[in-house]
Amino acid sequence: MWLEPTRAVSIVDTMLARGLTSRDALAEVAERNADRPGGSRARCVFGLADPGAQSPAESRLRVRLVLAGLPRPVARHPVLVPGGIVLHSDLAWPELRVAVEYDGRWHSDPEQLHRDRHRLNLLVGAGWLVLHVTSRRLHQEFAAVVREVRSALLSRGWRP
């Protein structure tokens, strides 16, 4: 509860994903400690947690987007694309068909790049608007990322 929220949420996401705790257990801890120092911050962190995140960077991206005032995306949302293939976008706003993919270092590998572009083509072909965020953009150009995601959501009908 004393860590910076984006870091704390990434830890809780990992704990949830690995089955080390549950949403019910977190709610119980939050309730028991509601009046203690850090209680409200813990409730906030627990509320932002999502076991669907595949990496701490995805968790940080999701939390920072929410804290920037954007609606909460769904982590690992399944998308049925032509041919009956189900892909899972890193972050998605399914009702708007907007997805955000986090591209870490491994995405520069030629084989991974090939797979990524194939996935992108399938998602776009299924009517999704897909944005990509790299580590550099997450850490150095985040205000621009927020503007881009906000613009994509607005273009698809989101009304703040």
Q: What is the pLDDT of residues 51-87, one digit of tens each?
A: 999 899 999 999 999 999 999 999 999 999 988 999 9
Cross-strand pairs, 89: 77
DSSP single-letter state for residue 151: H
- Spell 47-63 as b/e; 16+ CB within 10 A means b: ebbbbbbeeebbbbbbb
pLDDT tens sequence across 143-153:
999 999 999 99
Q: Residue 143: phi, psi to the nearest 5? A: -60, -40
pLDDT tens sequence across 98-108:
999 998 765 56
In whole angstroms, how large is the CA radius of gyration of the chain?
17
Helix axes 39-48, 56-67, angle to 10 degrees: 110
Q: What is the pLDDT of residue 34?
A: 86
Residues of each domain in the chain carrying CATH 3.40.960? 74-155
Domain made up of 74-155: CATH architecture: 3-Layer(aba) Sandwich (3.40)
